Amino acid sequence: MTWDDLRRQATDDNRKDRDRLIGVYIGVLAVLLAICGMGGGNAAKEATLKNIEATNTWSFFQAKNLRRQVLRTQSEELELWLIKEPQLTEAAKSAITAKIASYKQQADLLTSDEKSGEGLDQLWNKGKALESARDIAMARDPYFDYGQALLQIAIVLASVALISSGNFLLVVSVAIGAAGTLLMSNGFLLLTRLPIIG
C-alpha cells in the first residue's frame, strides 16, 4: 500500500464518520420536528377547546343573568303593587309577600350558588379561567410554528451539507436547529414571550 492509498483510505474513513454523524444529527432533528408538530397541534386544539368552553360558559352566564333580572323586576313590581293597593286582604298581601321572598331567594341563588357551581359569580370565575387557558394555548402555538419551520430548514441544510461535504452549511444547520429547538421548548414551557412572535 502506498502513502497515497493510506491517505485516501483515511480520508474515506473520516468522510464516512462525518456522514454517519450528520445522519444521526438529521435523525435527531426529525424527532424534534415530530415533537414540535405534536406540541403545535395540541396547543391549537387546546386553544379551540377552551374557546368553545368559554363561549358556552358566557352564554350560560348571560341566560342566568337575564333570568335573574326578570326575577328582580317581577319582585319590584309586586312590591310596588303592595304599596299601590293597600286595600288588599291579608291573605292576598301574605301571598304576594311570599312570592316576593321566593323571587328574591331565586335571584340570590342565581347570583351565587356554591353547591352547584353555576351561580353568576361562579360562572364569571370559570369563564375568566377558561379565557386565560385559551390565551396561554394561543400564545404557545406560534413558537411551535416557528420552531417547526426552523427545524425543517436545519434538516434541509444538513442534508445538503451531507451531499456537498461542506462544513459551512452544517454549522448554519446546527445554529438554526438550536434556534428551532429553543422555540419549541418555549412553546412547551412558555418561559418568555418574544414580541416578534405572536
Question: What is the reported pTM?
Answer: 0.78
Q: 167: which residues sit within 8 A by CB, 6+ positions away?
A: 161
Cell numbers found for residue 177: 436547529
pLDDT at site 197? 81
Q: C-alpha distances in angstroms, 12 versus 15, 68, 158, 159?
A: 5, 83, 19, 19
pLDDT at site 8? 63
* Low-confidence stretches of the chain (pLDDT beneath 70): 1-14, 198
pLDDT at site 142? 95
pLDDT at site 165? 79
Cell numbers found for residue 123: 360562572
Of 177, 169, 190, 187, nearest to 150 by C-alpha is 177
pLDDT digits (tens, 9 = 90+) for 54-108: 999 999 999 999 999 999 999 999 999 999 988 989 999 999 999 999 999 999 9
Q: Looking at the domain 17-189, which fold is it?
A: Helix Hairpins (1.10.287)
- Write out the DSSP string of the chain: --HHHHHHHHHHHHHHHHHHHHHHHHHHHHHHHHHHHHHHHHHHHHHHHHHHHHHHHHHHHHHHHHHHHHHHHHHHHHHHHHHH-TT--HHHHHHHHHHHHHHHHHHHHHH--TTTT-SHHHHHHHHHHHHHHHHHHHHHHHHHHHHHHHHHHHHHHHHHHHHH--HHHHHHHHHHHHHHHHHHHHHHH-----TT--
pLDDT at site 156? 96
Ranges of each domain in the chain: 17-189
Of 146, 75, 63, nearest to 104 by C-alpha is 75
Of 130, 155, 158, 186, nearest to 22 by C-alpha is 158
pLDDT at site 6? 52
pLDDT at site 12? 61
Based on its alpha-carbon atoms, the radius of gyration of the chain, rounded to whole angstroms, reads 34
Q: 3: which residues sit within 8 A by CB, 6+ positions away?
A: none
